[in-house]
Amino acid sequence: MEEEDQEADHKVITSSPPSSSSSPSPSPSSSSSRWNPTKEQITILEGLYKQGIRTPTAEQIQQITSRLKQYGCIEGKNVFYWFQNHKARQRQKQRQETFAYFTTLLHHPPPPPPYNTVGSIGFYEQPLHQCQNSMYSSGTVRMEMKKAAAINGFSAASDHYQTLELFPLHPTGILEDKCASSNESLGDGDEEIGCENMTLFNFFGSQRLC
Amino acid sequence: MEEEDQEADHKVITSSPPSSSSSPSPSPSSSSSRWNPTKEQITILEGLYKQGIRTPTAEQIQQITSRLKQYGCIEGKNVFYWFQNHKARQRQKQRQETFAYFTTLLHHPPPPPPYNTVGSIGFYEQPLHQCQNSMYSSGTVRMEMKKAAAINGFSAASDHYQTLELFPLHPTGILEDKCASSNESLGDGDEEIGCENMTLFNFFGSQRLC
DNA sequence: GCAAATTAATGATTTATTCAAG
DNA sequence: CTTGAATAAATCATTAATTTGC
């Protein structure tokens, strides 16, 4: 549809004067192409983030924006982007930390969980992401499975259930383990539970470090 | 429509300490008529949930099940039910929290930002958490807001933008006030920056940055 | 000391996924 | 099954840091 000319003049050299000034004070003369937050603005934004704000609503953005204007020029979109980026990068950071943590664990095998060691979540060594959607190839297979699972579950739910054996599900050695105990603790648990995209352990996936 | 049942089984109550208790050890003596997850099992299941798994496929269920058997007896249907219930209840919980938040907001007239101290960001007195995901009680409020953002940003992104205002995003005076130092409506020198997409959030009152 | 050159951060866009109405 | 809204991931692009040669 819209083929953005990749070669547009991104240059926009803007002849920005390398004013070398360290503080991006709201000096209007600097017609920079992008928002350059002041220290105060950053401080406030981070404070809001710590308060739990992640994806502010339009109204919130408005309020925040007008509030931040006293410290320098800023628009709503800047606030919007800031939260987008900050959230994403915090998550990214944590993934790396978690990854490092797991790597460490793999080198120091934790005491084999007998029965009461809380933890051990590492399951797949594959990206995993939310792979629940991509385990099927023909498109209907999954549906079938689901239904089957459901049916099996509900129908047979009487007494003598016996490993219903949902399918020709060969155990496959896919899920070798390399368990590692982990559960909270690592990282600043600043994500809330309600959010359904914690992706705490996605680090197996799109990890860019390497 | 697809509101998961609500009172299925499994209490998830932190199962009592394994020691000595009749914790559902792998002995299918069927002392209880229903699955009683062990703490380890819960931990793992929650971990998987955090990883993004919501509705595992039959295969995944199978894998998870066999994995969890290490910590106590369990069947595929238990896993299946657990995800069903957990998903539904998390959603329910979040809706409630969000609703509470909004109720609070409605009772506390939008706190006039007494901005002065840089460090203290007294925006919302409540933790706020992240209500962005479901702040609707009836189901439309949030939609409106988001839509506004989206439409303004992506669709209207064309030419001279000017506070499109395709919404009752009435300022409500909530955020008006101070800091009005920079007016702008005057010059309407909109095209200041060569970026087309800049209109993303015009509705915030496309004011010049500086 | 200072700028050009290089690297690291981070603002801004675009693309892909997810979810749930219709 | 299709589609729109919302959001996260990936990517692009610019600015600040910093290194480096003089």
- Per-residue model confidence (pLDDT) at position B142: 35
- As a whole number of angstroms, the distance between CA B206 and CA A171 comes to 58
- Mean pLDDT over all residues of chain B? 49
Q: Contacts of residue B179 in chain A, CB cutoff 8 Å?
A: 66-67, 69-70
Q: Which range in B60-74, B79-93, B128-142, B164-178 is most confidently predicted, on average pLDDT? A: B60-74
Rounded (5°) CA angle B183-B189-B191: 130
Give residue B26's pLDDT band: very low, low, confident or very high (50, 70, 90).
very low
pLDDT band at B84 (very low <50, low <70, confident <90, very high): confident
What does the pLDDT average to over A86-97? 85
Which one has a higher pLDDT value, B122 or A198?
B122
For residues A76 and B48, the model is more confident at: A76
Q: Is A184 helix (H, G, I), strand (E, B) or coil?
A: coil
pLDDT at A108: 61
A107 against B147, higher pLDDT: A107
Tell whether the torsion through CA atoms of A10, A16, A21 and A23 is positive or negative.
negative
**Better-predicted residue by pLDDT, B115 or A51:** A51
Q: For the segment A8-51, what is each residue's pLDDT rounded down to a tens digit?
A: 333 333 333 333 333 444 444 456 789 999 999 999 999 999 98
pLDDT score at A89: 94
Lowest mean pLDDT among A76-85, A198-207, B37-46: A198-207
A157 and B76 Cβ atoms separated by less than 8 Å? no
Within 8 A by CB and 6+ apart from B176, the residues are: A66
Task: State which residue of chain B sits closest to A51, comparing Cα positions.
Answer: B127
Query: pLDDT class for B5, splitting at 50, 70, 90?
Result: very low
Query: What is the band of A75 on the pLDDT scale with cuts at 50, 70, 90?
Result: very high
Residue A71 pLDDT: 96
Which residue has better confidence, B103 or A121? B103
Give the distance, in angstroms, between residue A76 CA and nucleotide C11 C1'.
13
Average pLDDT on B184-206 reads: 33
Q: Identify which of A41-55, A186-200, B100-114, B196-210 has the greatest average pLDDT.
A: A41-55
Q: Whole-angstrom Cα distance, residue B149 to residue A74?
A: 17
Q: Which of A30, A159, A195 sits opposite B130 (nearest CB)?
A: A195
On whether any CB of chain B is under 8 Å from the CB of A113, the answer is yes
> Distance of CA A196 to CAs A188, A205, B52, Å?
17, 18, 7
Which residues of chain A neighbour B67 with C-beta distances below 8 Å?
123, 175, 177
Residue with tokens 């003049």: A9
Stronger pLDDT, A98 or B20, i.e. the higher one: A98
pLDDT of B145 over the 70 cut: no
Q: Which nucleotide is nearest to B157 (CA to C1')?
A: C13
Tell me which residues of chain A, numbers 84 to 103, contact chain B at a CB-CB cutoff of 8 Å.
none
List the 44-83 stretch of A: residues with Cβ below 8 A of B: 44, 47-48, 51-59, 61-67, 69-71, 73-77, 80
Neighbours of A28 (CB within 10 A): 11
CA count, 13 A, side-chain hemisphere, A130: 12
Residue, of B35 and A23, whose pLDDT is higher:
B35
Tell me what the pLDDT averaged over chain A comes to: 54
Greater confidence (B83 vs B143) lies with: B83
pLDDT band at residue A133 using 50, 70 and 90 as cut-offs: very low
CB pairs under 8 A between A and B: 247
> Using one digit for the tens of pLDDT, what is the confidence trace for A141-165?
333 434 444 434 433 333 322 222 2
Is residue B15 within 8 angstroms of chain A, CB to CB? no
Q: Phi first, then psi: give them for residue A168, nearest 5 degrees.
A: -70, 35
Looking at chain B, the whole-number percentage of residues with pLDDT higher than 90 is 0
